[in-house]
Every structure is written in structure tokens, then in C-alpha cells.
Structure 1
């Protein structure tokens, strides 16, 4: 009987697996994005001046050294792990790698020889398009004794998330759910109207277009959109459209709201109005659900769109809303990082005091359903290497599922930087009201709008069983 694999979540130790603990079929994997720095580093090891090479030469350097090095590192650190002796590695290179490619590297036990403790591992590297770019075999001698080594000083390699592609898997996940009626508020420009119609085509929503009928139909005619079978609720202007959409939600005629070509404050003012009937005991807050190739799992940034400078009790609602959303999208015990500029409590920095208080509120059951830690600086929240360097021992540091920002300005800048510089896919949703509010930006992509509708679909079906 084999022992279970050591947990890769331990931020302080590397643990190997002895030969006796291995079984045919055991596997380990990591995921990594090829950066320009990687190309330069491995080219330097190969004695190549990258700046003087053509693109094909750069690809060859990266393909031959970077991919093979990841396989070797995975063997040295995970399977079998420290103490392994490399005997042979035979790899075939089927395609070039380019800067920005995301590579999933996997090794799997194929053969075990008890007499020599030799292990044959099947090795594969698959890119973001599902193409096998490297495959082959490696033969090693597995360790006979358990070895534990401190991780400090080791290069950081981000592990994958067991095949979870984050937002890209949302449509498949929600496919069994019936579409919901959604009031699309003032869809008077091409992006917002197209987003609603595309979500309808994807089977996510049945849109009810609320706004000036003449303007909506003019946009549809100009863009060639087919409005056949789509309900239009005529409203004179954006304020009237927001009020009417909120009324439809209050009456149960729609199960979600979707922002069109109006300002966020117009829509949210109507949603939280006392006579709208959509308020709950919680403060409303916005959640960005993000997936970047540089982080191994989807994560939430909150609040980056609604609450300008929340106080402690408002932050408690913001945290609880994000935890509730995490549960709905499949994270049963989300790790919540309360962000600040530093990781120590300092009276001169109010964000650190709020972070400490929020963690104590969680200890006392005032915030439930997640594991909180803070204050944490951003690097400590998302980077195991940074957390190790600073000696932070925490169940959240380096692996946060939720990032709670101090205020709207910092959160909005963080989210936009992740989207525009970090290649993050995004979805936007408002929590804390009786119905989900799909809150997308005029600059958001088609994919962001569809992903936001998919999350709203999941929330609406949850609210049927457990109203907020």
C-alpha cells in the first residue's frame, strides 16, 4: 500500500516520495508561462546572445533548455522529489515555444524496478492550445529514504490546478443550467447590445432590453443585430431604464440585471434605493473574477468598482460577499488575503488595522466560510517565494483565492493592471443585492461579458434555493 503524496501546498518544505511510496500511474504537474526573462536566462546558459539571434533561434533555445529544465525540476522537487538520481532523459521536440506560451508539464510513473529502485517516467509538455510540444521518457533512481528540505532560496515554479482552466471552463460548467431572464439596462451602444445577444446565443440569458426602444432598434439596425423574439421594455432614458429594471427584479420578472451603456452609479443608485426592494442586510460590493496565466487558479479582487473608501463593517460585508461568490464558483474554503502595503500591523496605516480586525472577526464567527489572513502585501498574498523570503507562515500567503483591497482606487488600478499587463481574463459581478448585477465596462471584451453572464447564471440558480 502506497502512502499519499505529500501536499504541495506546504510553503516551507520540499518532501520527496521514496520508491516504496510510488505506484504506476502516480503523476505530478506544474504550469509555467514562458517570459522574455526565461529566454534570456536559458540563452545565456547556452552561450547564445539572444539580441543577435533571429526569432527561430530564440525559440530553439527556449524549446530545448526551458522545457527540458522544467521536466527535470519537476522530477527533482515533486516526483520522486529530492534525492532522485537522474540516469537518462530522452525527449522529442514537436513545436517551438514562444514568449507568452503557457506550458503544462507532467511526469507520470510508467515502470518500477524494485531490484534497482529505477523509475521510468513519461514526460509531456502541453501548451495552452492543447498541443503536445515536448514528450519523452526519463529514467531515475528513486530515493530510499524520506527527505525534507527547506524551500527557502529555491526558484518558484507555479503548480497547475489539476486541469482547471478557470474562466475558460465556465460555459461547460453551466451548460446544464437553464437560461435566466435578465434585464439589460440601457443597451444603447453596440458592445452592450451585442454582449446581451451573444449571451442569449450561448444559452445563458433571456434578455429583456430596458431602454429607449427607438435607440435600441437603431443600434440593432446599424450593426445588423437580429432582435427577433427579444422583449424590449421602453424607457425614456437611462435613469428611467435603471428604475424599471430594478422594478422588474423586485417583482420577480427577471433574475438578474446587466449594465448597458449607462454609468455604474446610475444603475447602482436604482438598485440600492430603499423603494426598489432589492436591498439585503449586506452592503453591495463588486467582485472581479480573474484568471491570469501567471497564477495557477482563478481569484477574486474586491471591491474595485462600488465602495470608494469602505469602513471596517463595510469591509466585513465586502469580504463575506466575496466568500459567498467563491462558494458558488466552486471554492468551498476560499483563502482570503486582506491587502495592505505591508504585512505588519501599524497604527499609522489604517488598512493594516482593518485587516487585523477582519481576521479577528472571522475568528469570532462574524465572517464565515473562508480562511482569512492579513495584513498581507500583494507579493506575499500571491507568491509562495515572497512569503518564504519574508518568513510568513500562513494558510493564505502565496495562495490566495480572494484579494480584498483597502479602497476602490487601489483595487481598480490592481484589477486593470492585471487585465492589461497581466493578460488576465475577467468577469464582473455585484453581490449583496437580492439579484446578481452583471457589471461590465464599456471597454470589456466579448469574453468578459459572456463570463460575467455565466457567473450570474450560477448565482441566480443558487438564489432560487438560498435567497440572499
Structure 2
């Protein structure tokens, strides 16, 4: 987000020849993203992530109109200030300016007329003048002040946390993944897209003829991809579990079959992948306005978990957070309030889970609760409520009281806060990639990436190398 400082506009009587204003700005990716989308100038030369001319690296070149907007910002904020209206422009371009460059924006009042002033202005980059201009400006009719909260903020819809996870996958081998019943266009396309990004090496398990028809419908080739034949969904799920048990696959991926059918196979005592841990689902969420990943659990498997189930749910999420590079995950156990109330059983469970963590029954992270949603993720809300400790206001993991609340929380973050999500089932001998037909292709990719990173952690006991480095600061 950005916040505009309050400024005082100067009317004609307060202006005189010789007045100057200057600002120094660094060109950030977000600044160009704002400009390209607001103007509709989606030339790839101007977009931070794209290689517009095919030379192998993104250019991020500022167009002249963007540089002119920097001059407008000084005119509208400083000289003459808020309320000014530009009536004429004359300008000349100079040396290119790119993302990361620091520029100086200078405005000089060179003439005063009956009802307007003339300004000389420039934008100077590291290689010299980038834009020189002369403009006529009508100052405000009266001096007025605008505070920082009079104007709206902006937010870039960027999923930088997921970008870091995707980048980390380049350091590890693709996870061999048994894709169960990829017999619909969307199920097969999601698996193949993940294979294209080297996130998984798929083994397609199901009806070979139906898989071939799905590939034709998706316009994709499956030549060279291993196919294991199974006559129906139950057989395919059982065979996929056997591939993992035999060490031929590292993870499972749901295709065109019911979730219950898949999970029954995973939990089967004779050929399944069950462990002493209860299965649970975790949504890994990249919320554009939030400064780190959020894990939400359980929103898809356990309907009304008891205390022991919640302990397993919390442990599964802590393990996944560690696999994603969070060295000491902070789990907030959610309820409607942050105080223990016997009338709210979820507060009793939260208090018990906190004590279980203190006694070593939940390991690898910090656990605190009960916490309400606000004081779990917002430091100021936690401060106002008088909550101390390392978790309040800083939670990486949000443990919901039940499936209904967890599902609503995850869907609200997705459809209201514009989060992207990845979904995996944990607690089995291998991660299970659980996707929905409503998921975006990016969400499917990220589910595969999260499963690959978790499989790497199960195999080595360590996160991918790139995730052990500090996360880069967000571009503002």
C-alpha cells in the first residue's frame, strides 16, 4: 500500500518567480505496475517481469508519459501543490530510466501571469536528463490543505510469496507424482502444466483411453509420460498409493474422482499410506496485502475435530510451514474471542493445545490461543487487547475451530482479499495434492510446488536451499 503525505496548496498570491521544489524517487516495480494498468499501456518493455525485446532479461523501461507523471506529482503535491491544474505541456525526452534507478524531479517557477504560472521541470536519471519540460499551471484559487487520509490507498495484486516458493523449486528435483484419474481436461491440464514447470514428474494412473481423450481435448501430447492402467477410480487410487509405498512416487495428486474415494485409499490399512497422525488439509495462502504466507487449517477434511485431532492438525501445519522455510512457525488457535470461556468449547481446546505445545506434545513451532482473527494477524489489534507473546499479531498458521469456519476463512481470503491458494493433505506417508475444479491454473501449480517442497523436506529433513535464505523485501 501507499500513503500520500498531507500538503498545502499555494494560491497565486503566494507564488513568485524563482520558487523551486525537488524530490528524489527510486523507480520501483509497483510504480510501473500501477502506471501500466491505469493507462492501459501494457507494452512488455514497461512491465517488470517481462522480457519485451527477447534479449533474455526484463527491461522495465519507464515510458516518457510515466516520467511526466512524476513531474505532475511534484506540481500537484508541492509547487503549486494540491488543487493545481496543468493547462499546457511542452517536453523533450532524453536518456532511458529503468526499474531500480533513482531519479531527481525538479520544478522551477520561471514566470507568473495573470491567472497561471509557467514552470520549468526536469527528470534526471543516472545517465543524465531523462525528460525536460515546460508547463503552464493554474494554481488553486485558495490555499487548502489535504491530509494523508483524505486520499485513497492503492495495492498491487502481486503474489510475491508464491513466486519465492516457485523459485525455490528450481533447486530441487521434480517430485514424482501419481496423478489419479486425470481423465478430464482440467485435471490433466493441471498436472501437465506442473510438469512443464518441472514441479512434478507425473505418472498418470487411470483408464488409458479416457486419459488419451482428455489429452486430445486439452490439445496436449502425453507421449513419453508413464501411464499405469486402472479400470475405475477405486483401483486407480489403490494403485497410486502402492506406487508411493513402493518408492516409485513421492506424492499423490487428485484428478477426476471424489475426494472420499482418494482418502479412503490413503487410509486403507492393507495398501494405504496411513501413519499414526490424523490426515488434515492445509491451505497455503498468498494474500497480496499481507507481509508473509498464511496457512489455514483444516478447511477440507476434518468436519468437527476433537482435541487430539486438533493437535494432529496443528502439528501437520507446523511441519508444512517448516518445509516452506519458516524456521519457527507461529500457530494461532482461533476462536471468536481471545479469552477462555467455558460456553465456547473452541476456547478450551485452544488453551489445551497451547499447554500441549508447552509440554512437548506439539513440536517445532510456537502455539498460542485462543486468539480472535484480528489479534492473530494484526499487531496493533493484539496490542489494544493487551496480548503479549510471540504468536499474537504474528501468526503464520491459523487453526480453525472446525471445517465450516476454516473453509469460510479460506474462501473469504481468496474471493474478497484476492489471495491465491495451494491445497495439500498431510498426515499420510506422502503429501496429497488436493485441487478443485474451481481452482485457477496458478493455484494448481502452487499446490504441486508446495507438495514438492514438502516431499523434499520429508526426504532430507531440510527445506529447499533457497528457502533458508531471508525473504527479499517487498517492492513498494
Write the deviation string for residues 376-425 of structure 1: whole angstroms up to 9, x where unpaired.
Answer: 00011111121122222231111110000001111011101111111112
Q: Does residue 433 of structure 1 match 2:428?
A: yes
The verdict on how the C-alpha distance between 1:97 and 1:372 changes in structure 2, with shifts beyond 3 A counting, is same
Match of 2:340 among 345, 353, 362: 345
Aligned-residue offset at 1:165: 2.7
Q: Does residue 237 of structure 1 match 2:232?
A: yes
Asked whether the equivalents of residues 24 and 104 of structure 2 are also in contact (C-alpha less than 8 Å), the reply is: yes
Structure 2 unpaired stretches of 5+: 10-20, 39-97, 106-148, 150-157, 463-476
Aligned-residue offset at 1:340: 0.3
Aligned-residue offset at 1:199: 1.1
Larger Rg: 2
Match of 2:260 among 261, 265, 274: 265
The verdict on how the C-alpha distance between 1:266 and 1:357 changes in structure 2, with shifts beyond 3 A counting, is same
Q: Which residue pairs with 1:384 in the alignment?
A: 379
The verdict on how the C-alpha distance between 1:307 and 1:100 changes in structure 2, with shifts beyond 3 A counting, is farther
The verdict on how the C-alpha distance between 1:311 and 1:135 changes in structure 2, with shifts beyond 3 A counting, is farther
Bigger mean CA deviation after superposition, 369-378 or 273-282: 273-282
The 5 A counterparts of 1:347-426 are 347-426=342-421
Match of 1:228 among 219, 223, 227: 223
Q: Does residue 288 of structure 1 match 2:221?
A: no
Backbone CA RMSD of aligned residues: 3.2
Report the Cα distance in structure 2 between the residues aligned to 1:398 and 1:223, rounded to whole angstroms.
45
Q: Does residue 90 of structure 1 match 2:85?
A: no
Asked whether the equivalents of residues 238 and 272 of structure 2 are also in contact (C-alpha less than 8 Å), the reply is: no
Q: Does residue 326 of structure 1 match 2:259?
A: no
Match of 1:215 among 203, 210, 217: 210
The verdict on how the C-alpha distance between 1:96 and 1:366 changes in structure 2, with shifts beyond 3 A counting, is closer
SS in 1 for 2:405: helix
Aligned-residue offset at 1:466: 4.9
Asked whether the equivalents of residues 383 and 398 of structure 1 are also in contact (C-alpha less than 8 Å), the reply is: yes
Q: TM-score, normalised by structure 1?
A: 0.67
Asked whether the equivalents of residues 166 and 298 of structure 1 are also in contact (C-alpha less than 8 Å), the reply is: yes
SS in 1 for 2:270: helix
Q: Does residue 198 of structure 1 match 2:131?
A: no
The number of residues matched between the two structures is 341
